[in-house]
Structure 1
Amino acid sequence: MGVIAASQAPAGIQGILLAAGKGRRFGADKLLHPLADGTPMALQSARHMRAALPRMLVVLRPDSRALEELLRREGLPCVIATSAELGMGHSIAAGVAASADAAGWVMGLADMPFVLPETIASVAAALHDGAPLAAPQFQGQRGHPVGLGAGFRDALLALQGDAGARAILQNEAQRLRLVPVSDAGVLRDVDTPADLGGAPAHTAQAKTDF
């Protein structure tokens, strides 16, 4: 895993890792499930984001006590989204409210532990360079994480329900900068235990609009 020096991280860009979903299809506490090396899924996702963006936080449900304890032991800041059960929009808004002074946000999903730090850093760099929206592209497909500039602050704070930031990304599609990457992890999410095998059974394409 590459580590981006703090001096190289784009100034003012905030990482937000969304870890407030229920993961019902997995059949267990998905985000605590160990990967092949024993690392809990959400912890690896958080480590990768922090390696690229030292300024980052993790958004959790109020009942995610075990996950919160695990993350805080690693020194990872956590924000509790009190209305997380109402949909991802509330979780995004909670994360943005806790970092409202940021120059932009890179939003990742905790069930995508294979996204490389270098990819996260590339999306952040695109925002820092002036892109209003940014996302990685692997073999012609847009993936995660997604970057949103400070101009979308009010819209992000107003998000509610399950739609998340989908409307922003759809309405502003012409302003999206795609960042070519060689990181297949940007398309690989974990919905079921089978997705932890070799070739992913699912891709994140359906979730790229949050």
Structure 2
Amino acid sequence: MTGGVAGLLLAAGGGRRFGMPKALVPYRGGLLVEHALATLAAGGCDPLVVVLGAGADEVRARVALPGLVVENPDWASGMGSSLRVGLAALDPADAVVVLTVDTPGVTAAAIRRLAERTAPDVLARATYDGVPGHPVLIGRAHWAGVAELADGDTGARPYLARHPVAAVPCEDVADGADADRPEDLR
């Protein structure tokens, strides 16, 4: 299927500061990974791809995840490798909304706001009071360049720093804060 906007959830990390893989964190009656995928789906993303790594077998044993589930064997090297794995797994789409599992305050409304800009050459990211955050919208024309520069925990940042990126204010519909520690979810 060509066209539309895909959803890519990065959920492979070990959650060193959190004390466990964040994909396995209980949240609102399920797991954080389920919440994030449901948010992408409610925001209009289709297909969905989730990248697992640390705790992947336990995630699979505990929940049936919608969409395509891929595993990043190099998850410990950082988010960059998960981004590369996820982009490589995507079917043709005009663009992809990239979300990290540790941003539970991102809403379907924020996803839709970015998805409205879908085009093969788009680069856009949510901002919260002027500060860039997630989600990030990456047009298909940029996937190879993003994958080439994604390294360690920087994700798409090196590529985005070299190209014009539309800022999409989302503070009125979402909270882009990372949940790095258990107390961040309270």
Q: Tell me which interval the TM-score lies in, with the shorter structure as reference length.
A: 0.7 to 0.9
| Offset, 1:102 | 2.3
Q: Which runs of 5+ in 2 are unaligned?
A: none
Give the direction of change, closer, same or farther, for the CA distance of 1:81–1:157 in structure 2 (3 Å limit).
same
| Offset, 1:75 | 2.9
Equivalent in the alignment of 1:135: 125
1:27 and 2:19 correspond? yes
1:51 and 2:37 correspond? no
SS at match of 1:57: strand
Partners of 2:138 and 2:109 in 1: CA distance:
18
Letter of the structure 2 residue corresponding to residue 103 of structure 1: D
Partners of 1:167 and 1:190 in 2: CA distance:
23
Superposition pairs of residues 107-118 of structure 1, within 5 angstroms: 107-118=98-109
Partners of 1:56 and 1:30 in 2: CA distance:
18
Q: Is the 8 A contact 1:16 1:106 kept in 2?
A: yes
Deviations 1:61-112 (A, max 9, x none): 16411213444x2433211112222222111111111115221111100011
Deviations 1:16-63 (A, max 9, x none): 00001111111234322222x322112111111122213111001164
Which of 138, 142, 148 matches 2:138? 148
Which of 53, 67, 74 matches 1:61? 53
Letter of the structure 1 residue corresponding to residue 57 of structure 2: R
Partners of 1:160 and 1:137 in 2: CA distance:
21
Answer 1 or 2: which has greater helix percent: 1
Answer 1 or 2: which has greater strand percent: 2
Partners of 1:160 and 1:91 in 2: CA distance:
9
Partners of 1:160 and 1:134 in 2: CA distance:
17
Q: TM-score, normalised by structure 1?
A: 0.78
Q: Is the 8 A contact 2:4 2:94 kept in 1?
A: yes
Letter of the structure 2 residue corresponding to residue 156 of structure 1: V
Identity percentage of aligned residues? 31
Partners of 2:143 and 2:22 in 1: CA distance:
30
Q: Is the 8 A contact 1:17 1:108 kept in 2?
A: yes
Partners of 1:157 and 1:136 in 2: CA distance:
20
Give the direction of change, closer, same or farther, for the CA distance of 1:15–1:85 in structure 2 (3 Å limit).
same
Letter of the structure 2 residue corresponding to residue 80 of structure 1: E
Task: Please provide the CA RMSD for this pair.
Answer: 2.1
Which of 169, 172, 188 matches 2:177? 188
Q: Is the 8 A contact 1:62 1:80 kept in 2?
A: no
Equivalent in the alignment of 2:90: 99
Equivalent in the alignment of 2:162: 171
| Offset, 1:180 | 2.2
